[in-house]
Structure 1
Amino acid sequence: MEKIRTRVQIKHELGRALLGEFVGTAILVLVINTVVAQNVVISGTSKNALININFGVGLGIALGVAISAKLSGGHINPAVSIGFLALGQLKPIRFLLYYLVQLAGAFVGAALAYLVYRDAINVFDGGNRAVVGSKATAGIFASYPAPHLSAFGGLVDQIVATAFFLFFILHFTDKRNHYPSWTQPLLIGLTFVTIGTMFAGNAGYPCNPARDFGPRLFTFIIGYGTKVWCGDASYCWFWVPIVGPLIGGVLGAYLYQFAIGYHIPAETEYEVVVTRELQPLTKEGEVVP
Structure 2
Amino acid sequence: MEREHRKPRKARCGLRHSIIKEFLAEFLGTFVLVLFGCGSVAQSVLSRGALGETFTINIGFTMGLMMAAYIAGGVSGAHVNPAVSLAMVILGKLKVVKFPVYVLAQLLGAFTGAAAVFGLYYDAFMDYTHGLLSVTGINATAHIFASYPARHLSVLNGFIDQVIGTGVLVLCILAIIDGKNIGAPRGMEPVAIGLIVMAIGVSMGLNCGYPVNPARDLGPRLFTAVAGWGMDVFSTAGYWWWIPVAGPMVGGIVGAVVYFLFIELHHAEPREERQQEEEEEEDEDDDDIKDNDEPLEK
TM > 0.5 fold call: yes
Deviations 1:154-198 (A, max 9, x none): 110000000000000000000112422311111111001000011
Deviations 1:35-67 (A, max 9, x none): 100000015279x71111111111100111110
Once the two structures are TM-superposed, the CA of residue 266 in structure 1 deviates from its matched residue by 4.7
Distance 1:258 1:121 in 2: 48
TM-score (normalised: structure 2) = 0.86
Given the alignment, which residue of 91, 98, 102 partners 1:94?
A: 98
Partner of 1:53: 57
Once the two structures are TM-superposed, the CA of residue 2 in structure 1 deviates from its matched residue by 3.4
Once the two structures are TM-superposed, the CA of residue 4 in structure 1 deviates from its matched residue by 2.9
Unpaired stretches in structure 1, ≥5 consecutive residues: 272-289
Q: How well do the aligned residues superpose, as a CA RMSD in angstroms?
A: 1.7
Q: Map residues 134-283 of structure 1 onto 2, 5 A cutoff.
A: 134-177=138-181, 178-231=183-236, 233=237, 235-266=238-269, 268-269=273-274
**8 Å contact 2:31–2:110 — kept in the other structure?**
yes
Q: Which one-letter code corresponds to 1:23 in the other structure?
A: L
Deviations 1:182-232 (A, max 9, x none): 11111111001000011111111001011100100000001101210133x
Given the alignment, which residue of 22, 43, 65 partners 1:17?
A: 22
Distance 2:48 2:231 in 1: 28
Distance 1:104 1:7 in 2: 26
Once the two structures are TM-superposed, the CA of residue 262 in structure 1 deviates from its matched residue by 2.0
- SS of residue in 1 equivalent to 2:136: coil
Identity %: 41
Partner of 2:296: none
Partner of 1:66: 70
Distance 1:190 1:168 in 2: 10
Partner of 2:122: 118
Q: Which one-letter code corresponds to 1:16 in the other structure?
A: K
Once the two structures are TM-superposed, the CA of residue 33 in structure 1 deviates from its matched residue by 1.1
Partner of 2:282: none
Distance 1:206 1:68 in 2: 20
Distance 2:150 2:50 in 1: 16
Q: Which one-letter code corresponds to 1:249 in the other structure?
A: G
Distance 1:45 1:148, change over 3 A: farther
TM-score (normalised: structure 1) = 0.89
Partner of 1:282: none
Unpaired stretches in structure 2, ≥5 consecutive residues: 1-5, 279-298
Distance 1:73 1:254 in 2: 19
Distance 1:136 1:45, change over 3 A: farther
Given the alignment, which residue of 11, 16, 23 partners 1:6?
A: 11
**8 Å contact 2:162–2:212 — kept in the other structure?**
yes
- SS of residue in 1 equivalent to 2:47: helix
Say if 2:34 is the partner of 1:29.
yes
Distance 1:91 1:135 in 2: 45
Distance 1:88 1:266 in 2: 17
Distance 1:158 1:4 in 2: 46
